[in-house]
A and B are shown apart, each in its own frame.
Chain A
Amino acid sequence: MIRKRSRIERQLIIFGSAFGTTAELVRGTWRSGSGRKWMIPLIIFLCLNGLLLTLAAGVEVLAPFVYSIF
């Protein structure tokens, strides 16, 4: 039986792990050898947007706004 977590608990877990994902994305782009290192600032900016909204989505009343924005 899988324990159901509250929305805020789930969003906090996602928020916590998102830094690792962003770091992996940046590291991957840096090492990829595709010559696209210049994309890193844009990637960080977009991921930060996503991170903030992931956190905000934990509040149920705001969730429809937040989910739809991102």
Chain B
Amino acid sequence: MASLLRPLYWTIWASPRRRAQKLLQFAEVEAEGGRDLVRASELTVDPVLRRLFLAHARDEERHARMFRSRGLALGVGMPPRAGNTMFDWISPGERGLDDLRIKDEHLGSLLAFIHLSESAAARDFAEYSSVLGHDPLTRSLFDHIGRDEEHHMRYSLAQLRRVASGGSRALLWKARLRRLWKAYLRLASAIAGIMSTVLLTIQYFVLLPPFALLAKFAMRREQPGWTVLPPALDSKSGREF
């Protein structure tokens, strides 16, 4: 699968502008992941995990700074881009903890999630590095961060085995299924987002024009400035309108 996507990755990472934008996005995701881990460290009662989560969070914050600094260096003089493109989900960065509700997570499932998330990131970053021969600085950034992600994979797995003892495999499978579910949610949301935009845009152009005409006429009657509120305004009503 990875080799099939290689030409696509190459295309995505070829343009300095897109490279800059993606690195800045990765910086945000890493920072977000760092905050999730800080939250996990604040909530856990296990002192070893608290220290590990904090150290991991610091790594993520450092990665965020590195991605950001490289992204800014690549993007000097380029105007910022608004909105997302298709390439954003074809070539993801680390997905943080997949919008996990840290507070509601069992320690074992949280560690399983971290392990899988870091594995995926390490794999992806290795792929990106392989198509970045033309940009040694960005390539070495991915190599460096990729190595960190491997450390994160290892510690999370070791801790998962400690915390869940015999149940770690089951937790990993459960986490894989949940990641699949979340992937479905992302895909479904993306498709539905497109469908809804198309449907509402059709409604907009088919249904709205006569109403828009009336609204524009009505607007002309309105005076600028203050609107005096009637003394009998029913401010006590508690109604929705």
Contact = CB atoms under 8 A, between A and B. Distances in A.
B240 interface: yes
- Listed residue (B184, B189, B192, B221) with the most chain A CB atoms within 10 angstroms of its CB: B192
B211 interface: yes
Interface stretch (B76-84, B105-113, B134-142, B193-201): B193-201
Nearest to A36: B218
Contacts of B211: 38-39, 42
A65 B196 CA distance: 9
A25 B207 contact: no
A45 B241 contact: no
B241 A27 contact: yes
Interface residues of A, number: 21
A28 B207 contact: no
A68 B192 contact: yes
B48 interface: no
- Listed residue (A32, A34, A42, A64) with the most chain B CB atoms within 10 angstroms of its CB: A64
A66 B218 contact: no
Q: Which 10 residue pairs of A and B lie closest in terms of their CB atoms, listed nearest first?
A: A28-B241, A68-B192, A64-B188, A69-B196, A65-B192, A68-B189, A64-B185, A68-B193, A24-B240, A64-B189
